[in-house]
Chain A
Amino acid sequence: MRVVYKVLAYLVAVEVAVQAAVMVFGDAGLGKWVGQGGVLDKSVLESEGSPFPEVIGFMAHGINGMMVIPVIALLLLVSSFFARVPGAVKAAGLVLLLVAVQVTLGLSGHDIPALGALHGLNALLLFSSALYAARRDRGVAVPAQAEPRLGTAG
């Protein structure tokens, strides 16, 4: 279970990186498209067609952020219960909390753009906390292995 926990924690970090990448990918595609004469208004924004190919970045960001990452964070919390890594539950709880904050900030950013800026900053916090969670077992390898020995010794 410790491996599962570790993999899930790293997966959250990887997903945050993917989120940053696809967002800028979409944004760059939008800039290029407008530069070539494309006009963006709500009708284009809400159209499910692809005015430019990079628009897939925005779609991926939404699905990944609102569905995939919350599910991974939730599974991370569950795996932390079984991982027997000191502080794992707290770390996974922090990750889940930051994911919830991140989704909220992302959606609020549609209304209040300044919260979108916080969404960008919180992404860094989330990335760090995911790495922190993934690396919780460093330095505890010895006591963890020591446990069975203690048992047999007793």
Chain B
Amino acid sequence: MKDTHRRGARLRLAVAGAATVAVLGPLVWLWQDSLMPAAYSVMDMGYADYGGGPSPSPPSHATGPGHGSHLTTAAQGHRGHTDDTGRTTAARSVTSLVADPNRTADVTVTLVARAQRFRLPTGRSVDGYTLNGASPGPAVHATVGQLVQVRLVNESVPGGITLHWHGVDVPNAEDGVAGVTQDAVGTGKSHVYRFVANQAGTFWYHSHQVSHEQVRRGLLGPLVVTPARRPPAGTVDVVALLHLYDGARTVNGREGDVRVAARPGDRVRVRVINTENGETPAWVGGAPFRLVAVDGTDVNEPSPVRDTAVMVTAGGRADIEVTMPEDGSPVRVHIGGPGGVVLGSRSYDAPAAPRPARTLDLLSYGAPEPIGFDPERADRRFTYEIGRRPGFLDGTPGVWWTVNGHLFPDVPMFMVAEHDVVRMRVSNHSGESHPMHLHGHHAVVLSRNGVRATGSPWWTDSLEVGNGESYDIAFVADNPGVWMDHCHNLPHAAEGLVAHLMYEGVGTPFTVGGEAANEPE
């Protein structure tokens, strides 16, 4: 009886142990499988997706989902072509993709980054980061075609910094993504960025090292590229950069209104820059307006609208043009709330207008014009499907974003060759909206949820893809490199909503992690 009982107890224990292994075993396996190495190249992340285009032969790598490991070894990776002899030929390094090194700079700026406590004009004290002693950092101004040279000095920001030129299609080496196009600039070090400002428009710059933290705390500033021709008399140009410091909404670092003088009849261009992680509406009280540019690209034949709000995507820009009323009454450009920019001639006493119920749909705004390529004859067709599911992200359990059903880092590497016409369907079933940002390129929106774009070509670098929405976009692969294609709700990027676009024959020597402690998200 005693033996029987002992045997029973042992059996029970064995069953309990087996059940524990059955429950925890797979979880422990998934957990350890999700752990990232101390240093890795983004080129070894996930799987190559050739989008139906040619893959280098012989295929160096599994081309579809469902392969065993999500971090391949360097030899198996996309590091270079393998020629007929099986020898791996050297790839072009991203560090060679620069602006003409022999050309002298037209615009030279030095930006010194510090970790410090600083005061907003309203007196609020912020513990964050500054560029040349202030946040937002100084506006960088250039005329189209000028070569801009920015020396970034990291005086005291721990963990290193970079600068990314958001929306400017710079050469890859100047893209400022830590661990992909450069090493983070440690304290006491500096880095020089050089690029030609080849498109007139509104842009901004921000750190792309631990960006979800460094951008929030102030490492950012506006970048404005103006056309070569001088603006006609009676035009006013104003930047309105939205940023929240410790939850306080500011425009150009000011809480409350920014006041700008404008005479009756003046045409005022308000360059709204959303540096936040969520979209914000902008609208105008007191006058009709035109949306003259989106994401640094002019809208073709924008018609005047009123009682309509414009949604400004996180990371995106919207240039709003207002003609000042002849009667001298002021105009209020609202940015997300009662505050914003007040344009005044005789007074700044512009009453707040409630947010209009109507929202401008860029799919049908403005007039069509040729886009310069035929998206129907695409060389590559990619899918960027955003979802969400439970799992482990570098060992942390949670409910994380997925790309094409896979958790980071098992995400697609979108492979293209130079001059390819690329189509991408970006769809979102994740329960939340995502502002998707492709580095180094502007893409044109072809359709949303199957409805074709009928307005001005909608060129974008920061596209809000709402939950349940699907956008077809297209672009020409004309800027070789390794480019991030990620969610600009920056904490989402840190939660794994990151993929890359990579040109064949291009490789990066930089690694995420490693000695420079690169952490782009």
Contact B278 A107 (CB under 8 A): no
Taking the complex as formed, is B368 at the interface, i.e. its CB lies under 8 A from any CB of chain A?
no
Could you say which of B44-52, B231-239, B394-402 contacts chain A? Answer: B394-402
Contact B399 A44 (CB under 8 A): no
Residues of A within 8 A of B336 (CB): 39, 41, 43-44
Q: Mark A29-61, 1 if CB is under 8 A from B, else 0.
A: 000000001010111111111111001000000
- Nearest to B13 among chain A residues (CB) is A82
Contacts A41-B336, A49-B246, A51-B248; A107 near B276 (Cβ below 8 A)? no
Could you say which of A7-15, A73-81, A120-128, A134-142 contacts chain B? Answer: A73-81
Q: Mark B51-90, 1 if CB is under 8 A from A, else 0.
A: 0000000000000000000000000000000000000000
- Counted as pairs of residues, one from A and one from B, with CB atoms less than 8 Å apart, the total is 114
Residues of A within 8 A of B467 (CB): 110-111
Which bracket fits the contact residues of B? 35 or more
Q: Mark A65-96, 1 if CB is under 8 A from B, else 0.
A: 01100110010011001101000010000000
Taking the complex as formed, is A154 at the interface, i.e. its CB lies under 8 A from any CB of chain B?
yes
A13 to chain B, nearest CB (A): 21
The main secondary structure of chain A at its interface with chain B is helix
Contact B216 A78 (CB under 8 A): no
Q: Mark B466-510, 1 if CB is under 8 A from A, else 0.
A: 011000000000000000000001010000000000000000000
| Contact residue among A50, A89, A154 (Cβ-Cβ distance under 8 Å from B247) | A50
Q: Please, how many angstroms separate the alpha-carbon atoms of A51 and B276 in the complex?
A: 13
Could you say which of B20-28, B286-294, B342-350, B446-454 contacts chain A? Answer: B20-28
Residues of B within 8 A of A154 (CB): 1-2, 4-5
Contact B399 A107 (CB under 8 A): yes
Which bracket fits the contact residues of A? 35 or more
Q: Please, how many angstroms separate the alpha-carbon atoms of A147 and B2 in the complex?
A: 11
Q: Mark B347-373, 1 if CB is under 8 A from A, else 0.
A: 000000000000000000000000000
B residues within 8 Å of A by Cβ? Answer: 1-2, 4-6, 12-13, 15-17, 19-20, 23-24, 27, 212-213, 216, 242, 244-249, 274, 276-281, 314, 336-338, 388, 390, 396-399, 431-433, 467-468, 489, 491
15 A–B contacts from the bound complex (CB under 8 Å): A44-B247, A46-B278, A48-B212, A49-B245, A49-B246, A51-B248, A51-B249, A52-B247, A81-B20, A103-B390, A103-B399, A110-B431, A147-B5, A153-B1, A154-B4
